[in-house]
Amino acid sequence: MRLRKNFLPRTLADIWCFLLIATFIPITFVFELTIVLPEFHDFGGLFYWITLIAGVFLIMNIKGNMLACMLVDTSIKNEILIPPTDPDERKLWRMCSVCETMAPPRSWHCNTCKTCILKRDHHCFFTGCCVGHRNHRYFLMFLIFLIIGSLYTTIYNSIYLWYLHTETYANYFTLFKMVFPMLMFTVDSSWTNFYLLIYELNVIAFAYSLVLFVYHGQIILRGGVIHERSACKYDLGWKKNLEMVLGTKMHKVWLSPFVESPLPHDGINWQGFLKQTPKNR
């Protein structure tokens, strides 16, 4: 697996989004471990360790898949690109005027990454890179574990704020601060507001990642990418479509981003692949 040489975010938007998610997740983990968890379970008890192990598993997969998505090179760089000789199949290829090379089908140029991306889906602000053929798996698993992790902490934090500390948070002023979070620390820069901010960020993370998962998930199940979301001609059925993203060992990828799961396609020669689709049989 080839890694990107320059994986750091390049634009201001990418940098801010990356820093937000990169700092928010560890801070939330420490907050849950030191503030919230001790009020639910006795230190060293069975439920304490179960919750702690589950939290470590979630944060390792969130951060691991996010980092893998950033590191894995899914561009046409260093690829051997040989357009087919058949005129009809050659029409699927196109000349990229920026890269000055023939780009294979489903590859599109990204002005931010400054290269063509194999089976390009979109440019992700939170990872600062494009999601394409080789790192689509890590982006999808990043979303899945972010949904689970943010829901997990939202449930715990909701009980912590609205039930265990009703006298502090159950008032209209708290709702006002949640609607206008930028005013939190201008009115009162206390730990109470900091806890409330973490809670609100988790709610937002859950809602946003869930919307992204539903949006991208239905496209993946149809065998497409964002540019092909309607009537994708590469649709093999939902199981094969998932395998094209998660790899041949897709039932194991949820364990860790380090689990190898080879992709059944090289991301380049789609002209032969088209003959295998149900519509062309």
Predicted pLDDT of residue 112: 92
Span of 36-40, 92-96, 151-155, 170-174 with lowest mean pLDDT: 170-174
Q: What own/partner pairs with CB < 8 Å and gap ≥ 24 does 17-21 have?
A: 17/125, 17/126, 17/128, 18/125, 18/126, 18/127, 18/128, 20/126, 21/66, 21/126
**202-251 tens-digit pLDDT:** 999 999 999 999 999 999 999 999 988 666 788 889 999 999 999 999 99
What lies within 8 Å, CB to CB, of 46 at 6+ separation is none
Task: Determine contact, residues 153/202, Cβ cutoff 8 Å.
Answer: yes
Q: Is the pLDDT of residue 275 over 60?
A: no
Q: Report DSSP state, residue 76.
A: S
Mean pLDDT of 64-77: 94
Predicted pLDDT of residue 230: 65
Mean pLDDT of 119-132: 95
Q: Is the pLDDT of residue 120 over 70?
A: yes
Distance, CA of 102 to CA of 69 (rounded, Å): 25
**158-169 tens-digit pLDDT:** 999 888 888 877
Mean pLDDT of 37-41: 90
Nearest to 126 by CA among 245, 229, 253, 24: 24
| Residue 274's pLDDT band (cuts 50, 70, 90) | low
Nearest to 67 by CA among 259, 258, 246: 258
Q: Is the pLDDT of residue 157 over 90?
A: yes
Q: Which residue has the higher pLDDT, 277 or 123?
A: 123
pTM of the model as a whole: 0.90
Predicted pLDDT of residue 280: 43
Over pLDDT 90: what percentage of the chain? Answer: 62
Q: Is the pLDDT of residue 20 over 60?
A: yes
Predicted pLDDT of residue 227: 84
Mean pLDDT of 254-272: 90
CA 132 from chain center: how many Å?
12
Q: Is the pLDDT of residue 257 over 80?
A: yes
Q: Which residue has the higher pLDDT, 120 or 90?
A: 120
Predicted pLDDT of residue 134: 95
Q: Which residue has the higher pLDDT, 7 or 243?
A: 243
